[in-house]
Amino acid sequence: MKFPMRKAGKVALRSSIFGLVALAGSIYALAGPVATPDRTSQENPDWPGKGQLFVGTNYQPIDRSPEEVKKDIAIMKGAGFNVVRMGDLSWDSFEPSEGKFTFGWFDKVMDQMQASGIRVILDIPGLPAPTWLHHKYPGVNIVAQNGTLLYPAERYMDDTSDPDYRRLVVKLADALTKRYAKHPAVIAIGYDNEIGNSYMSYSPGARKRFIAWLKARYGSLSALNKAWATQRWSRRLSSFDEVELPYLDGPGPPERYLDLHRFWSDQTIATLMDLEAVRKKNMPSIPTISNLWDTGWRKGFDYLGSFKKYVSYGAEGFYPGEPVGASFGALMTKGDLETPIWFNEFTAGGSGYYGTKGQSHMWAYVGLMDGVQGLLAWTFNSHRGGEEQALFGLVDHDGSPSWKVGEFQQIASEFHRLQKFGFPRVTKPEVAIAYSFESAVASHPNGPSNSARDYFKTPYEDQVRNAFEPFFTDNIDTAIIHVAHADLSRYKLLVVPADYLMDKASADAIRGYVEQGGTAIMTAYSAKVDETNQWFDSPLPGRLSDVFGLHTNEFYDRGNSPLELSFNGRPLKTTINRYEVLEIDTARILAKFTNTPEQSPAITVNKFGKGKAIYLAVPAQEAVLGPLLRDCLYAELGVARGPITPEGVYARVVEGRTLYVNTTGEVKKIAIEGEKSGLISGKTFKGNLQLDPYQAELLQ
């Protein structure tokens, strides 16, 4: 569970990925390259539950007496739940002391779930580590940036890079997966809940592991000095022993800040790969559905650059604020997997938030529209104590069901009826949006005096969300990908918003995509720095200037005068203040600014190979991207718009039927042809569909 990070979906939430915190950390030693294992979806394409929708809840039986467990399961069964997620946050209940495992208590709960027809996502509870582990192996303790040793006061305070931690979490995973490998209730395995938000540590051991990682990455001290630009400000390193862990909470050069995050990312991925190896050994036919929180503000990790190594089904904790950001976040967990999305945690109540009637029902249908297969309310029982005290779940603190049980019962009943109508949705997007963990880090380095942060006025996370917005409002399926780790040939259009750090692999992928006939759009702020987070010494956009047929160095801020441009014979007004001055080489001008001194190009297109490369001299925004897409590119590329809907209503066609979701607090009317039946409401509609606030309908 996390608040408030997910409240706007995974990009407003991702916008605080790299927020400054006083506690920071390093990462475990060399993570070396790891071979990608066969994915579970390939090993077992007909795993139990394929073609089925799931509604359920997160459940912590360690908080409940045996009598309460029986009552709770009866409530779940009565509500029509068919899945729970259990095991997370419970390491010391399974292993009260090193090597002594106690599973009897959990066996009983598992057997009761099975008897009630409820499947289980079994979470390996690698976080938090038990108190006994911290005392016996103090290297797992967090050391703050200022050198203060911190005891584990909350669940994220484990140094997951510590070798003792990694050894013991593998033993736990091995014991747990062996115990339940054949249990018929188990439908999936989850790894280390929210590992992406654990703390960085500045312990001596962490520093040694960071140095080892640098040696493996750069090979020599001279290469490291060059990558870190240590000639600047007299900071040359004469020995690897002089390396210190870079500060997370300023000051610090951007090159080191980037490597700090890469280091932690690699080690997080290595820990997940440890657990994946255990699964493959003990439960090879069981898929992984993990709540990893790769955008956690303390650390984060490069999920889209690595997820196919340890993910069967993309999953996340879904705590939405608005539909565009929420859907972007959900699709980011999916990447380009062909399997559906899971909401391992799903909005029901929260800390100091009891819930809003009808909201969970509405968000369930937004998820269904995006391709969700399962959603699990966080949480079943309202919490009486601990760090989420006064968190309101489905059942109140006295054990009585709240109105939310009825709302989730409605969701479960409707989903059970709808699963025969093409749900979960199988999506085949023709449009892809590029997202880069490294650009997110590099564009927002630590302060307090860092010119890169000042340069990047419009946050990277806002730009990728803004690039996604016109497609979402036009009801077009979109994939969120890392360009160097995806098959770009699947897509008719690739949008690369503000990809500040352009490594060679990504540049080669974009170049090859356009060369082979693809159409790519790149926006301002893109391709300014290389792999080391240093600005290119070649024409910008670096490595791709010839692909886009232009170069640019100058950029200006209009202050309180938002930019205006002329496009396709009509004026466009924006709320954007900053722009780049584009110098044309081989590109053709599609639009010009009308209220800048230069009246320079605002949008250009360049033929390159068999394809086209379009450059926007401004950050991604609906006011510019929308007209470009609707006036030109959709028709030209054969990208079909989805159903036309009023503002705040979104829709997708599913096997000839249309699912509409009203995400607003207002009544909305949608024009329809002829007479149609509503499969959710049971009503008949003629001429128009009226949707009450937060309502959904599937028309046939």
End-to-end alpha carbon distance in the chain? 37
Q: Is residue 391 scored above 70 in pLDDT?
A: yes
The predicted-structure confidence for 143-170, as pLDDT tens digits, reads as follows 999 999 999 999 999 999 999 999 999 9
- Work out whether strand 372-378 and strand 431-434 pair parallel, antiparallel, or are unpaired: unpaired
Q: What is the mean pLDDT of the chain?
A: 92
Residues 6+ apart with CB under 8 A from 30: 212, 213, 216
Query: Do you find a cis peptide bond into 424, omega within 30 degrees of 0?
Result: yes
For the chain, what percentages of helix, strand and coil (3-state, to nearest 5) are there?
35, 20, 45
390 vs 523: which has the higher pLDDT? 523
The predicted-structure confidence for 609-639, as pLDDT tens digits, reads as follows 999 999 999 999 999 999 999 999 999 999 9
Q: What is the mean pLDDT of residues 516-542?
A: 97
The predicted-structure confidence for 245-301, as pLDDT tens digits, reads as follows 999 988 889 999 999 999 999 999 999 999 999 999 999 999 999 999 999 989 999
> pLDDT class for 454, splitting at 50, 70, 90?
confident
> pLDDT class for 132, splitting at 50, 70, 90?
very high
**pLDDT value at residue 41:** 40
Sign of the C-alpha dihedral, residues 643, 644, 645, 650? positive
Q: Is residue 513 scored above 50 in pLDDT?
A: yes
The predicted-structure confidence for 39-72, as pLDDT tens digits, reads as follows 434 344 455 677 899 999 999 999 999 999 999 9
Assess contact for 627 and 568: CB atoms under 8 A.
yes
CB atoms closer than 10 angstroms to residue 12:
24
The predicted-structure confidence for 555-613, as pLDDT tens digits, reads as follows 999 999 999 999 999 999 999 999 999 999 999 999 999 999 999 999 999 999 999 99
Helix axes of 254-282 and 163-180: crossing angle, nearest 10 degrees = 30
Euclidean distance between CA atoms 362 and 365, whole angstroms? 5
The values of phi and psi at residue 603, to 5°, are -135, 135
**pLDDT value at residue 116:** 98
> pLDDT class for 449, splitting at 50, 70, 90?
low
Q: What is the mean pLDDT of residues 475-503?
A: 98
List of domains in the chain? 9-421 (3.20.20.80), 431-637 (3.40.50.880), 649-699 (2.60.40.1180)
**pLDDT value at residue 251:** 86
The predicted-structure confidence for 164-200, as pLDDT tens digits, reads as follows 999 999 999 999 999 999 999 999 999 999 999 999 9
Euclidean distance between CA atoms 592 and 615, whole angstroms? 12
Euclidean distance between CA atoms 24 and 150, whole angstroms? 11
Assess contact for 97 and 140: CB atoms under 8 A.
no
Euclidean distance between CA atoms 222 and 234, whole angstroms? 15
Euclidean distance between CA atoms 364 and 54, whole angstroms? 11
Q: What is the mean pLDDT of residues 628-654?
A: 97
**pLDDT value at residue 46:** 54
**pLDDT value at residue 5:** 33
Q: Is residue 129 scored above 60 in pLDDT?
A: yes
Going by C-alpha positions, the residue among 442, 444, 434 that lies closest to residue 468 is 434
Q: What is the mean pLDDT of residues 464-486?
A: 98
CB atoms closer than 10 angstroms to residue 100:
8
List Cα–Cα distances, 197 to 204, 311, 406, 468, 628, in angstroms. Answer: 21, 18, 33, 25, 38
Assess contact for 545 and 529: CB atoms under 8 A.
no
**pLDDT value at residue 28:** 27
